[in-house]
Amino acid sequence: MIPEHLERTICAVHGARGVQWLADLPDGLAAIERRFAVKLLAPYPNLTYNLVLSALAEGGEKIVVKLNVPNQELRTESQALQLHDGHGYVRLLGGDADLGVLLLEKVCPGIPLSQVQDDDTAVEIFCGVLQAQKRVDASRADFPALDDWGKGLERIPEGKMPAARVERARRIYRRLLETTQETTLLHGDLHHDNILSAGDGWVAIDPKGVIGDPHFELIPFLLNYLTGQAQLRTRIERICAKTGLDPGRVTAWGFAHMVLSAWWHVEDGTDGYEPALQTADYFEELLGGITRWD
């Protein structure tokens, strides 16, 4: 039922709780079917952090069931989906985030944006999804903020990562927070595989739900399926021209976040440290020398 690589990730991220959750999973799946009147089917391919299954609701409707060890990210995803209520997002149908269970509408045809081969077309679709989302004022009592995420940079021990790069990332991250003029509830992970075709449009799935600067929302898309620095520059220029966002500010967020992302891979014991640092290099080269965010 559950792919081996996903088992390893769940154990790495959740430790002993993850090991126990996996051991209890067969009984847990049966309990979910009884409580929510669903029939669980096969898992989706290419899973990373969550177990996502096809399912049938009581009336035969095709739905999606998302499962994991109960955790705060799953709770904030549930809350974010409720607040957006289908405006540019998949609809939340039910579940219990405190039990680690979300019931979601099945998006049809559900082709991920990563299947669009032409990058210019993918950029246009991304901009459309970005602009279709409503601005949501959310409470910090319910959601983390970018300054909470940034505390990860302060946890990096001396000698674990290149010192000059870490110090610059800390400095830029702080400056970006100080100069943020507007905040909203962000998706927080709006990349190609979290954007699916839906009828004659596209919708977002899997929001992390984080409060912060709208410039940050571009970063996951920019770094995904990236062929090099030239493509990164083009993406930034085209998206900012379409949305009116500041390309320099987007680039600064990209550098600081990729250093943070590299450290998260170390903390979680997951793959991706070296690619994250490589992408941080791309952003830093686009930033150039001393900037107004240093």
- Whether residues 75 and 137 share a domain: the answer is no
- Measured between alpha carbons, how far is 108 from 187 in angstroms, rounded to an integer? 21
Residue 215 maps to a domain: yes
In angstroms, rounded to a whole number, what is the distance separating the alpha carbons of residues 231 and 237? 10
Task: Show Cβ contacts of residue 126 under 8 Å, excluding neighbours closer than 6 positions.
Answer: 113, 190, 192, 195, 221, 239
- The per-residue pLDDT for range 142-177, each reduced to its tens digit, is 899 999 999 999 999 999 999 999 999 999 999 999
Block residue for tokens 């959601």: 143
Whether residues 54 and 196 fall in one domain:
no
Contacts of 19 (CB under 8 A, 6+ apart): 11
| Side-chain-facing half-sphere of 209: CA atoms under 13 Å | 23
118 and 50, same domain (yes or no)? no
Report pLDDT for 106: 96
* Number of domains into which the chain is organized: 2
Same domain flag for 234 and 249: yes
Say yes or no: 193 and 256 in one domain: yes
Q: Sheet of 109-112: strands edge to edge?
A: 109-112, 195-198, 201-204
Residues 139 and 97 in one domain: no
Of 87, 106, 125, the residue at which a domain comes to its end is 106
Question: Is residue 38 assigned to a domain?
Answer: yes
Q: What are phi and psi of 62, to 5 degrees?
A: -75, 125
Query: For residue 74, is it within any domain?
Result: yes
Statement to judge: residues 90 and 184 lie in one domain: no
Note the pLDDT of residue 268: 83
Q: Are 130 and 267 within one domain?
A: yes
CB 19 within 8 A of CB 27: no
- The residue out of 75, 91, 106 marking a domain boundary is 106
Full residue range of the structural domain in which residue 35 is found: 4-106
Question: Do residue 160 and residue 238 come from a single domain?
Answer: yes
Would you state the pLDDT for residue 286?
Answer: 96
Give pLDDT, residue 262: 96
What is the model's pLDDT at position 142? 87
Q: What is the identity of the amino acid at 216?
A: F
Q: What is the pLDDT of residues 255-277, one digit of tens each?
A: 999 999 999 999 888 889 999 99
Question: What is the model's pTM?
Answer: 0.92
- Confidence (pLDDT) at 2: 86
Instruction: Please spell the DSSP secondary structure of the chain, one letter per residue.
Output: ---HHHHHHHHHHHTHHHHHHHHHHHHHHHHHHHHHT-EEEEEPSS-SSSEEEEEE-TTS-EEEEEE-S--HHHHHHHHHHHHHTTSSBPPEEEEEGGGTEEEEEPPSEEEEGGG---HHHHHHHHHHHHHHSPP----TTTS-BHHHHHHHHHT--TTSS-HHHHHHHHHHHHHHHHT----EEE-S---GGGEEEETTEEEE-----EEE-GGGGGHHHHHTT---HHHHHHHHHHHHHHH---HHHHHHHHHHHHHHHHHHHHHHT-S-HHHHHHHHHHHHHHH-SS-TT-
The answer to whether position 193 is within a domain reads yes
List the structure tokens of 158: 């001396």
- Is 293 within the bounds of a domain? no
Residue 21 lies in a domain: yes
Domain assignment present for residue 86? The answer is yes
- CA triple 66-274-194, angle to 5 deg: 30
Is 134 a domain residue? yes
CATH of the domain at 204: 3.90.1200.10
Indicate if 115 and 102 belong to the same structural domain: no
For residues 207 and 176, membership in a common domain is answered with yes
Give the residue ranges of the chain where pLDDT is below 70.
none
- Please indicate, yes or no, whether residues 25 and 154 belong to a single structural domain of this protein: no
State which of 86, 106, 126 marks the end of a domain: 106
CATH code: domain of residue 101: 3.30.200.20
| Predicted pLDDT at 200 | 85
